[in-house]
Amino acid sequence: MKQQLEKIETLAKEELSACKEIKLLDDLRVKYLGKKGELTAILKQMGKLSADERPVIGQLANKVRSDIEGAISEKLSILKENAKAEKMKAESIDITLPGKVQSLGKLHPMTVVENEIKDIFMGMGFSIADGPEVDDDYHVFEALNLPPDHPARDTQDTFYISDNILLRTQTSSVQVHVMETQKPPIRIISPGRVYRSDAVDATHSPIFHQIEGLVVDKGITMSDLKGTLELLMKKIYGNDCKLRFRPHHFPFTEPSCEVDISCFNCGGKGCSMCKDEGYIELLGAGMVHPKVLEGCGIDSSVYSGFAFGMGLERMVMGKYDINDLRLLYENDVRFLEQF
Which C-beta is closer to ligand PHE: that of 237 or that of 250? Answer: 250
Task: Tell me if residue 39 falls in helix, strand or coil.
Answer: helix
- C-alpha distance from residue 124 to each of 143, 179, 189, 215 (Å): 28, 20, 11, 11
The residue with its CB nearest to ligand PHE is: 309
Shortest distance, position 240 Cβ to ligand PHE, whole Å: 26
Give the one residue of 146, 189, 307, 328 binding ligand PHE; rule: CB under 6 A. Answer: 307
Task: Tell me if residue 235 falls in helix, strand or coil.
Answer: helix
Whole-angstrom Cα distance, residue 329 to residue 317?
12
Contact between 284 and ligand PHE by CB under 6 A: the answer reads: yes
Q: What's the gap between Cα 264 and its chain centre?
A: 30
Neighbours of 38 (CB within 10 A): 18
277: burial class by Cβ within 10 Å (0-12, 13-18, 19+)? middle
- Interacting residues with ligand PHE between 241 and 260 (CB under 6 A): 250, 253
Shortest distance, position 174 Cβ to ligand PHE, whole Å: 10
Contact between 309 and ligand PHE by CB under 6 A: the answer reads: yes
Count of residues near ligand PHE by CB under 6 A = 11
Which phi and psi (to 5°) does residue 109 adopt?
Answer: -55, -35
Shortest distance, position 261 Cβ to ligand PHE, whole Å: 15
Kindly indicate which of the ranges 60-68, 102-110, 121-129, 304-312 contains the residues binding ligand PHE, using the contact rule CB under 6 A.
Answer: 304-312
Shortest distance, position 201 Cβ to ligand PHE, whole Å: 18
Which C-beta is closer to ligand PHE: that of 87 or that of 138? Answer: 138
Contact between 141 and ligand PHE by CB under 6 A: the answer reads: no
The site map against ligand PHE for 35-74 (x = CB under 6 A) is ----------------------------------------
Which C-beta is closer to ligand PHE: that of 274 or that of 310? Answer: 310
Kindly indicate which of the ranges 11-19, 52-60, 85-93, 278-286 contains the residues binding ligand PHE, using the contact rule CB under 6 A.
Answer: 278-286
Dihedral, CA atoms, 110, 316, 141, 204, nearest 10 degrees?
-100
Shortest distance, position 212 Cβ to ligand PHE, whole Å: 6
Shortest distance, position 254 Cβ to ligand PHE, whole Å: 10
Whole-angstrom Cα distance, residue 323 to residue 302?
45
Which C-beta is closer to ligand PHE: that of 109 or that of 213? Answer: 213
Contact between 285 and ligand PHE by CB under 6 A: the answer reads: yes
- Interacting residues with ligand PHE between 87 and 116 (CB under 6 A): none
Contact between 264 and ligand PHE by CB under 6 A: the answer reads: no
254: burial class by Cβ within 10 Å (0-12, 13-18, 19+)? middle
Say which DSSP state 155 is in.
Answer: G
Task: Tell me if residue 260 falls in helix, strand or coil.
Answer: strand
Which C-beta is closer to ligand PHE: that of 173 or that of 262? Answer: 173
Contact between 190 and ligand PHE by CB under 6 A: the answer reads: no
Yes or no: say if 230 and 262 are a contact pair by the CB < 8 Å rule: no
What are the strands of the beta sheet with 279-288, ordered from one edge? 127-128, 186-195, 207-217, 304-311, 279-288, 253-262, 243-250
Whole-angstrom Cα distance, residue 258 to residue 311?
12
Beta bridge partners of 250: 253
Give the one residue of 145, 170, 190, 262 binding ligand PHE; rule: CB under 6 A. Answer: 170
Give the one residue of 286, 295, 305, 318 binding ligand PHE; rule: CB under 6 A. Answer: 286
User: Of 27, 2, 12, which Cα lies nearest the Cα of 71?
Assistant: 12
In the complex, the residues that contact ligand PHE under the rule CB under 6 A are: 170, 172, 212, 250, 253, 284-286, 307-309
